[in-house]
Homo-oligomer: A and B are copies of this chain.
Amino acid sequence: MLDVCLLGTGGMMPLPRRWLTSCMLRFNGSSLLIDSGEGTQIAMKEAGLSSHSIDTLCFTHFHADHISGLPGLLLDMANSDRAEPIRIIGPKGVERVVGALRTIAPDLPFDITFEEIEDRGAEFEAHGMQIQAFRVNHNVPCFGYAVSIKRAGKFNLEAAKALGLPVQFWNKLQKGETVDYEGNTYTPDMVMGAERKGLKVAYCTDSRPTKGIVEAAKGSDLFICEGMYGDPEKAQDAKRKKHMTFYEAAMLARDAQVGELWLTHYSPSLVGPGRYMKEVRKIFPEAYPGKDGMKKSLLFEED
C-alpha cells in the first residue's frame, strides 16, 4: 500500500485557508516528502501526519514557495527526537541552498546527505520506492517526480514443489536470487510468474506542458499536476509565467493514460477550483480539484 497526502494546494504564497503545494508519500513505514514551502510542517500536523518518519526529501526547484518551510521542518524533526540521517534530493545547488537556509537551523541531531539531479533527470531508490526525477519546463531548472513501487510476479507453489528444491531455498528465489544446490542451478523464473502491476504516483508543478511529463507520468495510478489557472482567459498568463491551466493538465493526464488526476498549485487569485471541473472532465473524466490534506491509499491489484 502506498499512502499519498496532498498537504497543500497553493502556488506562489500561502493563504489563510490554503497551504503551499507539497506531497507526502508513505510506503512500508518510510515517508518521502516532495517540497516544503512556508507552513508545510503545520499542514502536516493538520493532516494528522508526523515529520518524524521522513527519510527522503525531494525538491522540485528552489523558488521560496517550494522550500521556505525547510528550516522549520528540520527543527520539527529534531524536536521529534529523530536521529537517523535524512536524504535531500534536488536540482544542482541543493546543498548550497539548504546550507544557506540552515543559517537559522544550524544544530540538528541527524546528518543530511545530498543528491543533485543531472540536467536530464535521474533515478533513485528509497526504502522500496523507485524515484524518477524528470526535467520539466519552468523559468528555472525544475523537476517532477514519479514514484513507483514494483511488484514481483506471483510465487508458483506447485512449480517449486516439482523442482525438488528444499523449502529453505524458496525464499531466495522469491527475492530474485539464483540458487546452486546439489549440482543443479535454480533461477527465479522457475518459480515466479511475470512481474505484476505495481503502484505509481507522478507529481509535477511549475511547468509548461511537455512530452517528457507525459512519458514520466505514463500509466500512473495517480497524477498530481499543477493547474495554476482555471479561467480559460488566463491561458496567456500561464504561457508567460511558465505554468499550466487546468485544461493543459487534463490533456497531459489523458495522454499519459493515468488513473486519476489531482489538480494543485492554484494561483492566489483562483477561488473555487470546482467551478471549472465540468469543462476539465470533458478532456479527462477522472480529474479532481486538489484540496489541502486530500489523501488516498493506493492498493496493489488483487490477484
Q: Which residues of B contact A96 (CB under 8 A)?
A: 103
Q: A104-B63, A104-B64 are in contact. Are A45 and B71 (CB under 8 A)?
A: no
Question: Does the CB pair A42–B64 fall under 8 Å?
Answer: no
CB-defined interface of A50-83 with B at 8 Å, one 1/0 digit per residue?
0000000000001111011101100110010000
Q: A39-B39, A41-B38 are in contact. Are A14 and B72 (CB under 8 A)?
A: yes
Question: Does the CB pair A42–B68 fall under 8 Å?
Answer: no
Question: Does the CB pair B15–A42 fall under 8 Å?
Answer: yes
Q: Verify if A126 is at the interface (C-beta below 8 Å from B).
A: no
CB-defined interface of A189-225 with B at 8 Å, one 1/0 digit per residue?
0000000000000000000000000000000000000
A91 → B minimal CB distance (Å): 13
Q: Which residues of B contact A103 (CB under 8 A)?
A: 62, 96-97, 100-101
Nearest residue in B to A14 (C-beta to C-beta)?
B42
CB-defined interface of A13-45 with B at 8 Å, one 1/0 digit per residue?
111100000000000000000000111011001
Chain A contacts to B: CB under 8 angstroms: 12-16, 37-39, 41-42, 45-46, 62-65, 67-69, 71-72, 75-76, 79, 96-97, 100-101, 103-105
Q: How far is A45 from B39 in the complex, measured between Cα atoms in Å?
A: 14
Q: A38-B41, A39-B39, A39-B42 are in contact. Are A68 and B104 (CB under 8 A)?
A: yes
Cross-interface CB contact of A14 among B12, B16, B41, B79, cutoff 8 Å: B41
Q: How far is A105 from B64 in the complex, measured between Cα atoms in Å?
A: 6
Smallest CB-CB A-B distances: 7 pairs: A100-B103, A64-B104, A100-B100, A38-B72, A16-B46, A64-B71, A68-B71
Q: Which residues of B contact A14 (CB under 8 A)?
A: 39, 41-42, 72
Q: Which residues of B contact A39 (CB under 8 A)?
A: 14, 38-39, 42
* Residue in A65, A71, A101, A103 whose Cβ sees the most chain B Cβ within 10 Å: A103
